[in-house]
C-alpha cells in the first residue's frame, strides 16, 4: 500500500474517489429520506430507488465512450456537471418549491452522470498501477467507497436530524467540485502503453504534476495520452460506437465472466426489493438517525470485507463464495430478528463482510482477465447487466412494503445473498475458476 500511495496518479485518483464517494453517501441518504419524509410512502421510496438504479442498467452503453474518450477530461467534466445538477433541489427549496416530483427528477439525472465515473476509474486503474498491485489498488478503492459510506452515512443521519435533508444537497455540490480539482491532476497513459513513469513515486511526468491537459499537445506521444484516443486502432478494432459495443459484448460471451451475471442479477434484484423499504424499516427503529446507523453498518461490513479481500486473492473462487455467502445470508436474517438497533446494525455489518471481500476480488479478476482497451466496455456491460433488475426490484419492493409488510419485504435481501452461494456451488465453470492471483489476460 505504501508504494501505491507513492504513485502520484494513483494517489490523486484515490483521494478524488474518496471525496466524491463522501458526497455521494450524504446525497444517497438525503435523497431517500427526503422522499420518505415528503410522502411517508414505501411506494415512493421504491420509485426513488428505481429511478436511482435505472440508469445503472444503461451503463453498458457508456462503456464504448469510456474506452474512447480521454479519461481525465471525462472524470473532471462529470464532477462539475454533477455539482451544478445537485444544487437544483436546495435552490428550489429556497424559492419555496418543495415537491417530491422535483426530487424524483434530480435523482435519475445524477445517477445517469455517475454511470460514466466508475467504468472510467476502473479502466484507468490498470494503466496507472503495476499488475501485481491491482488487488491492493482495488481494495484501496473499495476502502474509499465503503469508508466514506461508513462515516458519512452515519453523519448524514445526524445532519438530517439537525439541519434537514436539503442541506446535504448543498454540501454534496462542494464535494463534486473538490473531486474535479483532484481528478484534473491525474495522468492516465493510453491503453497498451505499458509501464510509464506514473508507476513510480514522484517520477510522474512533469505535465501531470502541474495539472496540465496531457494529450492536448499534438506532439505528445501515446504514453502521455489522457484516456487513450488510440484505443482499438492499434489492435485493428472497428472504430464505430456500435462496433465497439458489440465487440465488448462478444468478448464477455466468450469468457467465464458471463457466468458471473447469473449470480449478480437475481441477488441485486432482491436487494433492490429490500432497499425500497429500508427507510420505513429504519423509521420503526428511530427515524433518520436509525437509517443513517443501518447504512453506516452495511458500509462498515463492506469496508472490512474489502480490506480482507485483498489478502484472499490466493484462495479458490468457490471456496470463498459458497461458505461466505451462506454466512452473509444468515447475518441478514439475524438482523431482522434482532431486538435492538445496535444488534440489528451489527448483524447487517456481518452480513455484508463477504460482499465487500468478493467485490474486490471480482473487480481484480475482471481487470486481470480483460485487455486494457476492452476494460471500460466490459466493466460497464457486466455492471449494467447485473443491476438491470434492481429498478424492477425497487418498484416491487415499494409495492410489497405497502401490501405485504416492511419486515417481510426486507427478508428478500437475505434470500438474494443465499442465492449466490447456491448458484456458485451449482455452476461448474465458477467452481473451477482459479484464485484471482492466478488469473491471466484472455486474448481478444
Q: What is the per-residue pLDDT for 224?
A: 36
Instruction: Answer yes or no: is pLDDT of 239 > 70.
Output: no
Give me the percent of the chain exceeding a pLDDT of 90.
25
Instruction: Answer yes or no: is pLDDT of 81 > 60.
Output: yes
By mean pLDDT, which of 39-48, 68-77, 253-262, 403-412 is the weakest?
A: 253-262
3-state secondary structure the chain: CHHHHCCHHHHHHHHHHHHHHHHHHHHHHHHHHHHHHHHCCHHHHHHHHHHHHHHHHHHHHHHHHHHHCCHHHHHHHHHHHHHHHCCHHHHHHHCCCCCHHHHHHHHHHHHHHHHHHHHHHHHHHHHHCCHHHHHHHHHHHHHHHHHHHHHHHHHHHHHHHHHCHHHHHHHHHHHHHHHHHHHCCCCCCCCCCCCCHHHCCCCCCHHHHHCCCCCCCCCCCHHHCCCCCCCCHHHCCCCCHHHHHHHHHHHHHCCHHHHHHHHHHHHHHHHHHHHHHHHHHHHCCCCHHHHHHHHHHHHHHHHHHHHHHCCCCCCCHHHHHHHHHHHHHHHHHHHHHCCCHHHHHHHHHHHHHHHHHHHHHHHHHHHHHCCHHHHHHHHHHHHHHHHCCHHHHHHHHHHHHHHCCHHHHHCHHHHHHHHHHHHHHHCHHHHCCCCHHHCCCCCC
Domains of the chain, first to last: 2-194+219-227+239-438 (1.20.1250.20)
Split at pLDDT 50, 70, 90, the class of 52 is confident
The CA distance from 221 to 215, in Å, is: 8
By mean pLDDT, which of 138-142, 297-301, 400-404 is the weakest?
A: 138-142
Highest mean pLDDT of the ranges 132-141, 245-254, 287-296: 287-296
Highest mean pLDDT of the ranges 209-223, 282-296, 389-403: 389-403
Q: What is the per-residue pLDDT for 235?
A: 45
Give whole-number Cα distances, 140 to 134, 280, 285, 297, 363, in Å: 10, 33, 33, 19, 12
Split at pLDDT 50, 70, 90, the class of 349 is very high
Average pLDDT, rounded, for the chain? 79
Instruction: Answer yes or no: is pLDDT of 417 > 80.
Output: yes
Q: What is the per-residue pLDDT for 312?
A: 84
What are the pLDDT digits (tens) for 165-189?
Answer: 888 888 888 989 998 998 888 877 7
What are the pLDDT digits (tens) for 22-47?
Answer: 877 788 788 888 999 899 999 999 99
Q: What is the per-residue pLDDT for 28?
A: 79
Instruction: Answer yes or no: is pLDDT of 293 > 60.
Output: yes
What are the pLDDT digits (tens) for 327-339?
Answer: 999 999 999 999 9
Split at pLDDT 50, 70, 90, the class of 215 is very low
- Burial string for 235-272 (b: 16+ CB within 10 Å, else e) reads eebeeeeeebbebbbebbeeebbbebebbbbbbbbbbb
Instruction: Answer yes or no: is pLDDT of 197 > 70.
Output: no
- Asked whether 409 and 397 are in contact (CB, 8 A), the reply is yes
Split at pLDDT 50, 70, 90, the class of 200 is very low
Strands (E), 35-96: none
Q: What is the per-residue pLDDT for 276?
A: 92
Instruction: Answer yes or no: is pLDDT of 219 > 60.
Output: no
pLDDT (average), residues 130-143 = 78
Q: What is the per-residue pLDDT for 127?
A: 83
- Asked whether 335 and 281 are in contact (CB, 8 A), the reply is no
What are the pLDDT digits (tens) for 431-442?
Answer: 888 888 887 777
Split at pLDDT 50, 70, 90, the class of 61 is confident
Split at pLDDT 50, 70, 90, the class of 146 is low
Q: What is the per-residue pLDDT for 15?
A: 86
Q: Nearest 10 degrees: CA dihedral of 244, 250, 256, 260?
A: 70
pLDDT (average), residues 77-81 = 92
Instruction: Answer yes or no: is pLDDT of 232 > 50.
Output: no
Amino acid at each position: 500500500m505504501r508504494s501505491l500511495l507513492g504513485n502520484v496518479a494513483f494517489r490523486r485518483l484515490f483521494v478524488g474517489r474518496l471525496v466524491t464517494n463522501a458526497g455521494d453517501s450524504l446525497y444517497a441518504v438525503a435523497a431517500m429520506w427526503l422522499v420518505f419524509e415528503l410522502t411517508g410512502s414505501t411506494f415512493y421510496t421504491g420509485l426513488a430507488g428505481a429511478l436511482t438504479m435505472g440508469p445503472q442498467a444503461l451503463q453498458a452503453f457508456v462503456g464504448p465512450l469510456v474506452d474512447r474518450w480521454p479519461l481525465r477530461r471525462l472524470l473532471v467534466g462529470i464532477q462539475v456537471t454533477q455539482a451544478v445538477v445537485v444544487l437544483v433541489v436546495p435552490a428550489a427549496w429556497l424559492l419555496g418549491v418543495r415537491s417530491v416530483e422535483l426530487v424524483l427528477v434530480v435523482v435519475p439525472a445524477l445517477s445517469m452522470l455517475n454511470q460514466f465515473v466508475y467504468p472510467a476509474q476502473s479502466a484507468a486503474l490498470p494503466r496507472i498501477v503495476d499488475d501485481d498491485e491491482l488487488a491492493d489498488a482495488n481494495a484501496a478503492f473499495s476502502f474509499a467507497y465503503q469508508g466514506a459510506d461508513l462515516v458519512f452515512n452515519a453523519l448524514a443521519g445526524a445532519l438530517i436530524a439537525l439541519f434537514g435533508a436539503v442541506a446535504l444537497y448543498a454540501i454534496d455540490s462542494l464535494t463534486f467540485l473538490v473531486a474535479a480539482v483532484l481528478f484534473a491532476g491525474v495522468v492516465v497513459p493510453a491503453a497498451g502503453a505499458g509501464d510509464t513513469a506514473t508507476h513510480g513515486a514522484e517520477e510522474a511526468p512533469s505535465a501531470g504534476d502541474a495539472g496540465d491537459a496531457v494529450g492536448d499537445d499534438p506532439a505528445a506521444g501515446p504514453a502521455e495520452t489522457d484516456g487513450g484516443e488510440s484505443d482499438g486502432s492499434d489492435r485493428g478494432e472497428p472504430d464505430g460506437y456500435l462496433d465497439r459495443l458489440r465487440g465488448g459484448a462478444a468478448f464477455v460471451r466468450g469468457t467465464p465472466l458471463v457466468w458471473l451475471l447469473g449470480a449478480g442479477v437475481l441477488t441485486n434484484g432482491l436487494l433492490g426489493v429490500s432497499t425500497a423499504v429500508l427507510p420505513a424499516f429504519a423509521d420503526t427503529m428511530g427515524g433518520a438517525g436509525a437509517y443513517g446507523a443501518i447504512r453506516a453498518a452495511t458500509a462498515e461490513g463492506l469496508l472490512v470485507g474489502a480490506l480482507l479481500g485483498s489478502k484472499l486473492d490466493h484462495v479458490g473462487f468457490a471456496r470463498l463464495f459458497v461458505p461466505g455467502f451462506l454466512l452473509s445470508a444468515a447475518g441478514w436474517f439475524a438482523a431482522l430478528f434482532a431486538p435492538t438497533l445496535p444488534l440489528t446494525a451489527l448483524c447487517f455489518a456481518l452480513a455484508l463482510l463477504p460482499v465487500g471481500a468478493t467485490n474486490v476480488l471480482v473487480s481484480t479478476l475482471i481487470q486481470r482477465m480483460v485487455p486494457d482497451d476492452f476494460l471500460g466496455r466490459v466493466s460497464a456491460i457486466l455492471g449494467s447487466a447485473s443491476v438491470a433488475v434492481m429498478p424492477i426490484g425497487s418498484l416491487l419492493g415499494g409495492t410489497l412494503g405497502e401490501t405485504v409488510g416492511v419486515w417481510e419485504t426486507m427478508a428478500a435481501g437475505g434470500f438474494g445473498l443465499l442465492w449466490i452461494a447456491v448458484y456458485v456451488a451449482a455452476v461448474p465453470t465458477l467452481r473451477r475458476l482459479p484464485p484471482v492471483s492466478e488469473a491471466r489476460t484472455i486474448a481478444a
